[in-house]
Amino acid sequence: MNKQINPPENKEVYHFIEEIIREDLKSNKYNKEIHTRFPPEPNGYLHIGHAKAILLSYGLAEKYNGKFNLRFDDTNPDAEETEYVEGIINDVKWLGANWENREFFASNYFEQLYEWAEMLINKGKAYVCEQTPEQVSENRGTPQVPGKSPFRDRPIQESLNLFRKMRAGEFTENTMTLRAKIDMASPNMHMRDPIMYRIKHKHHHRTGDKWCIYPTYDWTHGQSDFIEGITHSLCTLEFENHRPLYNWYLDQLVEQGAYRPRQIEFARLNINYTVMSKRKLLRLVKEKYVNGWDDPRMPTITGLRRRGYTPQSIKTFAEKVGIAKRENVIDLSLLEYAIRDDLNKTAQRVMAVIDPLKVIITNYPKDKTEFLEAINNPEDETMGTRQVPFSKELFIEKDDFIENPPKKFFRLGIGREVRLRYAYFITCNDIVKDENGNITEIHCTYDPQSRGGKSPDGRKVKGTLHWVDAKNAIQTEVRLYDRLFIKENPEDVAENEDFINNLNPDSLITTKGFIEPFIKYAKIQDKFQFERLGYFCVDNDTTENNIIFNRTVTLKDSWAKK
RNA sequence: UGACCUAUGGUGUAAUGGUAGCACUUAUGAUUUUGGUUCAUACAGUUAAGGUUCGAAUCCUUGUAGGUCAACCA
């Protein structure tokens, strides 16, 4: 009752990573500006979880006048391709992250890493192991049982010779590795003499056939951060157990107290009704459940872009999601909120009918067409107005007419009067049905006094409908999208099923749209609000004779729910 | 039964020993030439049990639950 209201505090709140950065800046820990990076592996396209990571690292660098690098973590030639490098560059740029000229590849550092590896061998901290992958795995032990490594006491010179021969291509794959000599009894499995190099006689998208040994992630990542002068190396929680190894490698190269990068982990993004792992997304693409990485149903950045999402909406979303260390599943509705919030302020309004019902204005002259003024965006006066044609035959939405409507239905029914937006009040007098009883057209009269949608006598109507002039309407293709999965958690499946069983069969419905002529000037990616229906954007597949619209998101509809 | 991490309304995230707040969602109402937007109101929370303290979401102890790790993936 007497609850006291807090005085408004404009105190900015910082998440734990920003807190760390602020302290480091205060203590001048690095003796320079902060430096972050985004390190994608070019083996697939980026998704919105990556967007969160990019916006975090870039946003922090920008806010604190630091630097941000883009670095491709291309240490495994098996699945990495130039196509993905280009896709990733495109997506990061589109999001607005700026890495200036600092576009790097871990493969640039292969020679340096190799030298450091020899150094470790010489220090007795690394050795060549001659076991098959199966043997390495068997001998690793279990979390409770220490492992063993039969070659770890091999003389330094012998390891050095073998390592050089590995590089020279004298051995076949899976016969030999270079391993760090750490602790085969560590409770942290990553510390049980991790692999530093493996043999792969594979062509690399950057280094070609120069190398046949490739460094592993752990041996590459921290060292690359170090080479680039990264201060805060942000990654997701699953790398938490790698941090001791990240630090161990740096210990071998860096003096106590000297500069070194710091790895900090945060929780990855999950959203309900979709999947977010590269492996699963790749499967959706490869097995053609969707039409490629940029299918508008995909949570990829390229898919969201094609769907009509804006960089701003993704930034808003990433901010609202926050940064923390606990596992999370974000409601899809938050993403939808973010895009509606942006498009409401920016999108051109237009009237379009997707499921048409013909309306004949019986008292309107047969050959007349007049033009009515419509507002382009009620949220932004500077966007101006446009002229919309009106004549005797129109289309309205089938949903907007019920023969015998219930009391709370504000739209059209027999004997009811509604407003056609920006046009006239009309009253329905009669309907025409086909032999199956389906309504084929409705007959209305209009009130010429109500031009523009106002009645001079001040009488009110509760409903306002969107409409298009049948004669002047432009016919387009419209693709209606819905959530990709039927279940909140796509992994919620019966035994011997998988997430594929939860795909939503109605995630894409292709239909037609009849749109006012204004739309003929639309270009690919242009975004519109189809009044009362939702936000739509022009799809890439659009050709001169066939405009195609993607529905980005519907408008909130507090009537449909009832 | 090993190591590391996490636990606050339906969801996400704040409160840094001192009034548990914000956003999304949901519901209701007002405004409205979009059943949109905007505005207002409401519902609803500290994993459990002990302990320290004048005072604990916060510190300590012990549970419970969840996540990650035994690829020559990243």
A364 φ, ψ (degrees, to nearest 5): -100, 140
Active site residue A165: no
Residue A1 reports pLDDT greater than 50: no
Residue of A167, A181, A192, A278 marked catalytic: A278
The answer to whether the C-beta of A146 is closer than 7 A to strand B is: no
Task: Answer yes or no: are the C-beta atoms of A226 and A239 closer than 8 Å.
Answer: no
Mean pLDDT in residue range A400-410 = 93
- Cα–Cα distance measured from residue A133 to residue A538, given in angstroms and rounded to the nearest whole number: 51
The model's pLDDT over A178-199, given as tens digits with 9 standing for 90+, comes to 999 999 999 999 999 999 999 9
**Full 3-state SS string of A326-364:** CCCCECHHHHHHHHHHHHHHHCEEECEECCEEEEEECCC
Residue A529, CB, strand B, below 7 Å: yes
The pLDDT of residue A25 is above 50 = yes
* Exposed/middle/buried for residue A370 (C-beta within 10 Å: 0-12, 13-18, 19+): middle
Nearest protein residue to nucleotide B34 (CA to C1' distance) is A532
Q: Is the pLDDT of residue A2 over 70?
A: no
Residues A114, A115, A119: CA angle, nearest 5 degrees: 115
pLDDT at residue A6 is higher than 70? no
- pLDDT tens digits for range A32-49: 999 999 999 999 999 999
Instruction: Give yes or no for CB of A349 within 7 Å of strand B.
Output: yes
A47-77 pLDDT tens trace? 999 999 999 999 999 999 999 999 999 999 9
pLDDT score recorded for residue A10: 56
A514 confidence band (pLDDT: 50, 70, 90): very high
State the DSSP H helix or E strand holding residue A283, giving kind and residue range, or none if neither.
helix A278-286
Strands (E), A200-275: 213-215, 232-236, 262-266
**Is any atom of strand B within 7 angstroms of residue A150's beta carbon?**
no
Position A7 scores a pLDDT of: 41
State whether the beta carbon of A96 lies below 7 angstroms from any atom of strand B. Answer: no
Inform me whether the pLDDT recorded for A562 exceeds 70. Answer: no
Q: Taking each helix axis from N to C terminus, what angle separates A332-346 and A311-321, rounded to the nearest 10 degrees?
A: 140
Contact between A540 and A327 (Cβ < 8 Å): no
Q: Is the CB of A137 under 7 A from strand B?
A: yes
Length A434 CA → B3 C1' (Å): 73
Average pLDDT over residues A479-496: 94
Q: What is the dihedral of CA A85, A90, A96, A97, to 10 degrees?
A: 10
At A527, list the tokens.
Answer: 């975004």
Instruction: Give chain A's end-to-end CA distance (angstroms, integer).
Output: 33
Q: What is the pLDDT of residue A458?
A: 87
pLDDT tens per residue across span A447-476 = 999 999 998 898 999 999 999 999 999 999
Report the candidate in A105, A341, A91 with the shortest Cα–Cα distance to residue A208.
A105
Q: How confident is the model at residue A495 (pLDDT cuts 50, 70, 90)?
A: confident
Order of strands across the sheet that contains A195-199: A126-129, A177-180, A195-199, A213-215
DSSP letters for A473-517: PEEEEEEEE--SBSSSSTT---TT--GGGGB-TTSEEEEEEEE-G
Catalytic residue among A41, A441, A477, A488: A41
Measured CA to CA, the distance from residue A476 to residue A549 in angstroms comes to 7
Q: In what order do the strands lie in the sheet with A464-465?
A: A464-465, A417-420, A425-433, A439-446, A356-361, A393-397, A468-469
Q: Which of residues 315-334 of A touch strand B (CB under 7 A)?
A: 320-331, 333-334
Return mean pLDDT, chain A: 96
Nucleotides of B under 7 A from a protein CB: 1-8, 10-16, 19, 21, 23-28, 33-38, 66-74
Question: For the segment A518-553, what is each residue's pLDDT rounded down to a tens digit?
Answer: 999 999 999 999 999 999 999 999 999 999 999 999
- What is the nearest nucleotide to A142, using C1' and CA? B70
Q: Give CA angle at A54 (A52, A57), nearest 5°.
A: 105
| Distance from C-alpha of A29 to C-alpha of A41, rounded to nearest angstrom | 30
Rounded Cα distance between A166 and A121, Å, is 14
| Residue A373 pLDDT > 70 | yes
Nearest nucleotide to A173 (CA to C1') is B72
Q: What is the dihedral of CA A241, A247, A249, A251, to 10 degrees?
A: -150
Q: What percent of chain A has pLDDT over 70?
A: 98
Mean pLDDT of A495-524: 96
Catalytic residue among A268, A283, A315, A398: A268
Closest C-alpha among A265, A269, A157, A140 to residue A194: A140
Q: Is the CB of A199 under 7 A from strand B?
A: yes
Strand B proximal to A9 Cβ, under 7 A: no
Residue A5 has pLDDT above 70, yes or no: no
A18 is catalytic: no
Q: Per-residue pLDDT for A3 more than 70?
A: no
Query: Does residue A278 have an active-site annotation?
Result: yes
DSSP-assigned letters across all residues of A31-89: SS--EEEE---SSS--BHHHHHHHHHHHHHHHHTT-EEEEEE----TTT--HHHHHHHH
Contact flag, residue A458 CB and nucleic strand B, below 7 A: no
Q: What is the band of A8 on the pLDDT scale with cuts at 50, 70, 90?
A: very low
Distance A514 CA to B36 C1' (A): 20
Which nucleotide minimizes the distance between its C1' and the CA of A14? B14
Find the mean pLDDT for residues A273-301: 97
Tell me the two tokens of residue A276.
């977010």
pTM value is 0.96
Tokens of A516: 């006012």
DSSP letter, residue A273: T
CB A235 within 8 A of CB A222: no
Is residue A410's beta carbon less than 7 angstroms from any atom in nucleic acid strand B? yes
Q: Which of A317, A225, A180 is nearest to A34 (CA)?
A: A225
Residue A263's nearest CA partner among A57, A105, A112 is: A57
Q: Is the C-beta of residue A305 closer than 7 Å to nucleic acid chain B?
A: no
| Residues 467-526 of A with CB within 7 A of strand B | none
